[in-house]
Structure 1
Amino acid sequence: MMLGYIGERRCNADTRAQGTCNPDGSVDTGAAREKVDVRLGWTAPSGNWDVGAVVTNLTNRQTIAISTLGSVVGSPYSYVSKPRAIALELRGRL
């Protein structure tokens, strides 16, 4: 299991002007966020194959992030994190 956590952003006049921290707005871009990924697997006693299930973003929490990389040319952008995804792993040894 992997757990990632990013704490609440410290806001000041510059981050509010850039839009990267806006705790009073309708979209809280400075809020703390976390992500939980899980992998559960089993390996055959022979070690020749295994199977696993992987879930990314187990809690299905989506957050909005704002990047100011494009602000130099006047086009900052925002994006929504990926929703929950489930995958099946199959591995074999030849």
Structure 2
Amino acid sequence: MSFTSELREPAFASRELFLDAGSRERTRALAREILMMDAADYAAAFKGSSIKRAKLWMLKRNACVVLGNVGTHEDLAVLEAMLVHEHEVVRECASWAMAQLGS
């Protein structure tokens, strides 16, 4: 017996941004994508989504932590750009992530 069924409500469909987010490489790419977003990109990507309750800086903070845990030296440039972010917690998480990656 299966309790799953075909998705019928389009509002609950996965957003393109999150498709295939299960792989380590896609997770890193998604984190970099979030770190590169500006306010307009964020608004467009999450239009009509409850995730907008989280502010962009909060997602950027989380993306820094993700890269600190699964990132590589290829992610250092985007993390370095966060060292001048307006929110201190984003700067701190970027610095931590860079230290984790051995920079």
- Fold-level match, TM-score > 0.5? no
Structure label with greater radius of gyration: 1
TM category (shorter chain) comes to: under 0.3
Q: TM-score, normalised by structure 1?
A: 0.23
